[in-house]
Amino acid sequence: MENSNVEKTNQNTEKSIYELLVESKRKYPATVAWRLKQHAKIIEMHLNPGEKVLYAFAAQKNDNPFDIITTSAIVLTNKRIMLARKRLLFGYFFTAITPDLFNDLKVTLGLIWGRIYIDTIKEFVAVSNIDRHALPEIETKITEFMMEEKRKMHDDESNN
């Protein structure tokens, strides 16, 4: 009986992430994104207990506007940024960026689509083929969250 409750909770979480991705795609239809349900499942698998999804969108995890087959789900939770891509045949790619690793965010606009570059201590993440109208919203959501979390970390260090 308890197993079925866990499965229902997981299904509801997955549906919620998927719905957020679809909502973003409907709001910004020029964004190039495919197989949203499969990518949402990977995010759902990696959600930790107590982690809440705050924002989600899909984009190509690369820096090449002609590479349109690397769609990833990018999800902002109350603890981190998660990027997930289900591979076509088997396996997946998953990246998590915690506030302590976050350095900077850069937005560029090309002729048709925009790109967001997330600079971390360990790597440089590029997501591209994003509808130009979505760029300000994405930048605001990510930077506001990361700045608030970094402020909290700094306050905690000051109090200790």
- Given this model, what pLDDT does residue 10 score? 43
Classify strands 102-109 and 113-120 as parallel, antiparallel or unpaired.
antiparallel
Q: What percent of the chain has pLDDT over 70?
A: 90
Asked if the model's pLDDT at residue 70 lies above 80, the reply is: yes
How many domains, in total, are found in the chain?
1
For the entire predicted model, the pTM comes to 0.84
The enclosing domain of 124 has a CATH number of 2.30.29.30
Tokens 């130009």 sit on residue:
132
Element (H, E) at 19: helix 2-27
- Given this model, what pLDDT does residue 2 score? 39
Residue-wise DSSP of 50-101: T--EEEEEEEESSS-TT--S-EEEEEEESS-EEEEEE-SSS-EEEEEE-TTT
Q: What is the mean pLDDT of residues 139-143?
A: 95
- pLDDT tens per residue, range 105-116: 999 999 889 999
Domain of residue 64, residue span: 2-159
